[in-house]
Chains A and B, each alone.
Chain A
Amino acid sequence: MQAVIQATIDFLKLYWAPLLCGVVIVAVLPLIVGYVVLVERKLMADMQARLGPMRVGPHGLLQPIADAVKLLIKEDIIPEDADKLVFWLAPVFSVGAALLAIGGLAFGPAFQIGVNLNIGLLFVVGISALGIFGIVLGGWASNSHYSLMGALRSAAQLVSYETAAGMALVSGLLLAGTLNIKSIVEAQGSAGVWFGFLAPVAFFTYLVASIAETNRAPFDLPEAESELVAGYMTEFSGFRWSLYFLAEYTNMIVVASVATTLFLGGWLRPFAGIHWFTLKGLNGLDLLDLFPPLLILAVAAYCILRVPRQPTRVQQMFMLVVAGLCFVVALVLAGPVLLPVVKPAMAEAVKPFYAGIHGGFWFIFKVSAYIYFFMWLRFTIPRYRFDQLMRLGWHFLIPLSIINVLLVGLSLIVGSYYHLQGWALLLATTPAAILGLVAALIILGIEQKNRVRQEAVTAAGFYAG
């Protein structure tokens, strides 16, 4: 007994930090996901000329909490003929994989929840791909046609698009030369240019493939509500369903973070290498650094402006509290920028704070922009049919991404031959990107021709028969 306690204490002493991180992930992420959902609903409402959730809290700000409570206290239904153990296990598996993947990411130079792995990117991609097991098992275990079809579609889709996404990542990794997440961002910092500009075709391929991987519209066939009711989630309800939901949105955050890290310069500020906006007189104050606090201040100002229009006193108070919080955040963001101006002596002491806080801001900003793009697509365009989705994956994205790996590799050889560095590398990669574009068009042309022929054959067969 004594030994067991001692071993436990030793274990805790060694691993208290990762354990704490784990607790933080599990505790905080559902809340973040809840608010991502709220933002999505609000954006959707805005684009569709309506208001969205408005009842719980001012402008529906407390809606995610109400939703979570509702889901938690719902009756837990397990279909009679379901495989109970697998049914129980599947959503947990899905959400576990998604949360684990978050651990491998770095949100700022000094802010990483998990450990700084030297194979960081590989770990994140690999673990997040495991989540598909949860979906397939869940679909199989529910013993329903719709669920099974959704699960099979999901599996086929992931296999097809993971290949394209992987190839796109390889193109980026060729530029970075490392799998370590921090080193990838630092490589972009020292190159002075984000890899998204050096390998735009790879970025585009990853963008499309990542939408498909997270089962988002227009590739949301596994849960296409007009065909499969709710796909693999059909038989799940209440808490189990919310776990799947959590996994889906966490995966969205994961792919957005991977894209940000590899293609959009991670936590680096835009125009980090350019000093046009740096004021010499004010002790090196860069005007671009003022963007984050000003943005948050604008939000605070908007909240205050809206106060008189709130119907009840409670809501007015709530609005003021939100404004106050925004103000505090803006202060925190502005502090490291403005302090050196006032007290030049503090410049050195403030530097790590600046890097951490502003790095975090820019990372979240870029991830949000990426997710915003996902949502925008979802509201705008219709859904692919399953065979069209497969054709897009196998006939277009995979060949394109493979060709692009070759082109990026070639351009790097050319670049190193002429000793091109940083922005100058664009001289070598831009022709490669243009070639990639030409390749894309050629592939599309061939694909179109094939499809017309194939469809004519099928149609003739069916009408004759």
Chain B
Amino acid sequence: MGPQHPSTHGVLRVVLKLDGERVTGSECVIGYLHRGVEKIAENRTYQQFAPYVDRMDYVAAVSNGLGYCEAIEKLMIVEAPPRARVIRTILTELQRIASHLLWLGTHALDIGALTPLFYCFREREEILKILEKYCGARLTTHAFRIGGLQYEAYDTFEKDVERFCKDFETRIVEYETLLTNNRIWIGRTKGIGILTKEDAIAFGVTGPVLRASGVKWDIRKAAPYAAYDQYKFEIPVGTTGDTYDRYLVRMEEMRQSRLICLQAIENIPAGPILAKVGKVLKPPPGEVYHAIEGPKGELGYYVVSDGSVQPYRVRIRPPSFINLQAFDRMVRGHLVADVVAIIGTIDIVLGEVDR
């Protein structure tokens, strides 16, 4: 299957070993979108590399930027001011909702439901409009700067976010009426692509895929970054770790993200948006690993500095790449039609897998 197949979400190629229509083995062939992002980092200054991370998980650019900026801040022992951190949190949570919406739409489309896609895109459009108003770009936003924010929030920022969150509550119900109790949807997702708790941990998968298997692990709670320690939210977990559970977990995560946004806009502290960092960044020699909870899982940056203006090495831990390793375990014993559902449920972005 692939790399040019309508439902491999980009350019994933899957070699399947079949017994009739039943899958007995599989191998993912990746690299069609390899751009050498990590190598590029070694030839750019710290600021110059920031836009490149947006191009990895291109449906969740804000989260990528947050992870990178915070990693460098950690390396330089600088802290972003409170106002910047709250706005970062809001934008990242909006981005999480947008990313999950894109996943829901395409996943449903793979399983044959045409309409949710357009509903999801309608709401995603609202989020992209907010991002566009904030920083002028919709997808590859480059919204943050090392040390804080480049832009002040625009005048009606809070109002826009609030209106979106108010509307979004009923919109989620709309998607759920189309899918959650639908017999066909349940038949296509329940018991499909089961990943047990032990397997999930052994494969190192993170994010909704891990939580659906019943592991309560979320970096926002475990090692709070940005302003997450100020807000109350739940970590939804699944029980069986099948495709249906992953669906439910992501739906609940969207609700929780909405709650975080609502809490955050209530009280955005005043103050500067950029910490004192020089025009030329020269972090002290050393190394740092910083991970955030991206929409797809643990997004980690391991940065080594040799004291110059360019990083010595940047290693990125992309959640999609590692979650994809569990694909073979999930797909064995299922039918070809389920392969499509399972690729969808892992929620991969090939830009991030191949980097």
**A contact set with B: CB distance below 8 Å:** 44, 47-50, 217-218, 220-221, 224-227, 229, 378-388, 455, 458-459, 461-463
26 pairs across A/B with beta carbons < 8 Å?
A: A44-B114, A47-B115, A48-B119, A217-B114, A226-B111, A226-B112, A227-B7, A229-B5, A379-B114, A379-B115, A380-B178, A381-B112, A382-B113, A382-B179, A382-B185, A383-B112, A384-B112, A384-B187, A385-B187, A385-B335, A386-B337, A388-B184, A388-B188, A459-B191, A462-B333, A463-B333
* CB pair B114 A226 closer than 8 Å: no
Binary per-residue interface labels of chain B (1-29) against chain A in the complex, 1 for a CB within 8 Å, 0 otherwise: 00001110000000000000100000000
**Chain B residue with minimal CB distance to A452?**
B191
Chain B stretch 298-327: residues in CB contact (< 8 A) with chain A: none
Residues of A contacting B336 in the complex (Cβ-Cβ under 8 angstroms): 227
Q: How far is the CA of A461 from the CA of B194 in the complex (A)?
A: 15
Q: Contacts of B21 on A, CB cut-off 8 Å?
A: 386
Chain B nearest Cβ from A117, distance in angstroms? 38
- In the complex, A385→B342 CA distance in Å? 13
Which B residues contact A (CB, under 8 angstroms)? 5-7, 21, 108-115, 117-119, 122, 178-179, 182, 184-185, 187-188, 191, 194, 332-333, 335-338, 340
Most buried by B among A226, A383, A388: A226
Closest chain A residue to B21, Cβ basis:
A386
| Residues of chain A contacted by B112 (CB below 8 angstroms) | 217-218, 220, 224, 226, 381-384
User: Chain A's nearest CB lies how many Å from the CB of B7?
Assistant: 4
Contacts of A383 on B, CB cut-off 8 Å?
111-113, 184, 188
**B residues within 8 A CB of A225?**
6-7
7 smallest CB-CB distances across A and B, nearest first, come from A383-B112, A462-B333, A48-B118, A226-B7, A382-B113, A382-B112, A226-B110
User: In the complex, given contacts A50-B118, A226-B6, A382-B179, what are 13 additional A-B residue pairs having Cβ atoms less than 8 angstroms apart?
Assistant: A217-B114, A218-B112, A218-B184, A224-B337, A226-B111, A378-B114, A382-B111, A382-B182, A383-B112, A384-B112, A385-B187, A388-B184, A459-B194
Across the interface, do A385 and B188 meet the contact criterion of CB distance under 8 Å? Answer: yes
Closest Cβ of chain A to B22, distance in Å, is 8
Cα A48 to Cα B119 in complex, Å, equals: 7
Inter-chain contact total with CB atoms closer than 8 Å = 84
The reply to whether A459 and B178 contact each other, CB–CB distance below 8 Å, is no
B194: chain A residues at CB < 8 Å are 459
User: Could you tell me if B187 and A388 are in contact, using CB atoms closer than 8 angstroms?
Assistant: yes
Residues of B within 8 A of A50 (CB): 118
Q: Are B340 and A226 in contact (CB under 8 A)?
A: yes
Kindly state the separation between the CA atoms of A381 and B185 in the bound complex, as whole angstroms.
8
Residues of chain B lying within 8 A (CB to CB) of residue A220: 112
Residues A227 and B337 in contact in the complex (CB < 8 Å), given A381-B113, A381-B182, A383-B184: yes
Q: Nearest residue in A to B1 (C-beta to C-beta)?
A: A227
B335/A48 in contact, CB under 8 A: no
Q: For the complex, give the distance between the alpha carbons of A461 and B332 in Å.
A: 11
Q: Which residues of B contact A462 (CB under 8 A)?
A: 332-333
On chain A, the residues within 8 Å of B108 by CB distance are 382
Bound-complex Cα distance A458 to B333 (A):
8
| Alpha-carbon distance A380/B194, docked complex (angstroms) | 27
Distance between Cα atoms of A459 and B115 in the complex (Å): 32
For B335, list chain A residues within 8 Å (CB): 385-387
CB distance from B160 to the nearest CB of A (A): 20
CB-CB nearest in chain A for B192: A385
- Among A44, A226, A387, A458, the residue within 8 A (CB) of B109 is A226
Report the bound CA distance from A385 to B114 in whole Å: 16
Which one of B115, B118, B119, B338 contacts A385 once the chains associate, using CB atoms below 8 Å? B338
Decide if B115 touches A380 in the complex (CB within 8 Å): yes
B242 to chain A, nearest CB (A): 11
Q: Once bound together, how far apart are the Cα atoms of A386 and B341, in whole Å?
A: 13
Shortest CB-to-CB span from A375 to chain B, Å, is 11
CA separation between A47 and B6, bound complex, in Å?
Answer: 23
Asked if A455 and B191 sit within 8 Å, CB to CB, the answer is yes
B154 to chain A, nearest CB (A): 27
Chain B residues contacting A380 (CB-CB under 8 Å) are 113, 115, 178
A345→B188 CA distance, assembly (Å): 65
Chain A residues with Cβ below 8 Å from B185 are 381-382
Q: In the complex, what's the smallest C-beta–C-beta distance from B53 to chain A, in angstroms?
A: 30
Residue of A nearest to B111 (CB): A382
Assembly CA distance A463 to B109 (angstroms): 29
Q: Nearest chain-A residue to B113 (Cβ)?
A: A382
> What is the bound-complex CA distance between A224 and B114, given in angstroms?
12
Given known A218-B112, A226-B340, A227-B337, contact A382–B118 (CB-CB < 8 A): no
Q: Which of chain A's residues have a CB closer than 8 A to the CB of B188?
A: 382-385, 388
Complex CA–CA separation, A384 to B337 (angstroms): 9
Closest Cβ–Cβ distance, residue B340 to chain A (whole Å): 5
Q: Taking the nearest CB of chain A, how far is it from the CB of B329, in angstroms?
A: 10
Q: How far is the CA of A181 from the CA of B51 in the complex (A)?
A: 70
**Cα distance A224–B335 in the bound complex, in angstroms:** 14
Name the residue in B111, B112, B119 with the highest tally of chain A Cβ atoms < 10 Å from its Cβ: B112
A382: which of B5, B119, B184 is its contact (CB, 8 Å)? B184
Q: Which chain B residue lies CB-closest to A388?
A: B187
Say whether B115 contacts A48, CB under 8 Å. Answer: yes
- Taking CB atoms, residues of chain B closer than 8 Å to A218 are 112, 184
Q: Shortest beta-carbon distance, B339 to chain A, in Å? A: 8
Distance between A125 CB and nearest chain B CB, rounded to angstroms: 27
Query: Which residues from B are CB-within-8-Å of A379?
Result: 114-115
Assess the B182–A385 pair: CB atoms within 8 A: no
Q: A206 to B299: give the CA distance in the assembly, Å.
A: 52
User: Which residue of the partner chain A has the closest CB to B339?
Assistant: A227
Docked Cα-Cα span, A17 to B332, in Å, equals: 61
Say yes or no: A459 contacts B333, CB within 8 Å: yes
A225→B113 CA distance, assembly (Å) = 12
Separation of A388 and B187 alpha carbons in the complex (Å) = 8
Distance, CA A74 to CA B256, complexed state (A):
51
CA distance A380 to B111 in the complex (A): 12
Contacts of A384 in B (CB 8 A): 112, 184, 187-188
Residue of chain B at shortest CB distance from A45: B118
Other-chain residue from A44, A381, A459 in contact with B184 (beta carbon distance below 8 A): A381
Complex: A385 Cα to B185 Cα, angstroms: 10
**Shortest Cβ distance from residue B197 to the other chain A in the assembled complex, whole angstroms:** 15
Q: Closest approach, in angstroms, between the C-beta of B125 and any C-beta of chain A?
A: 11
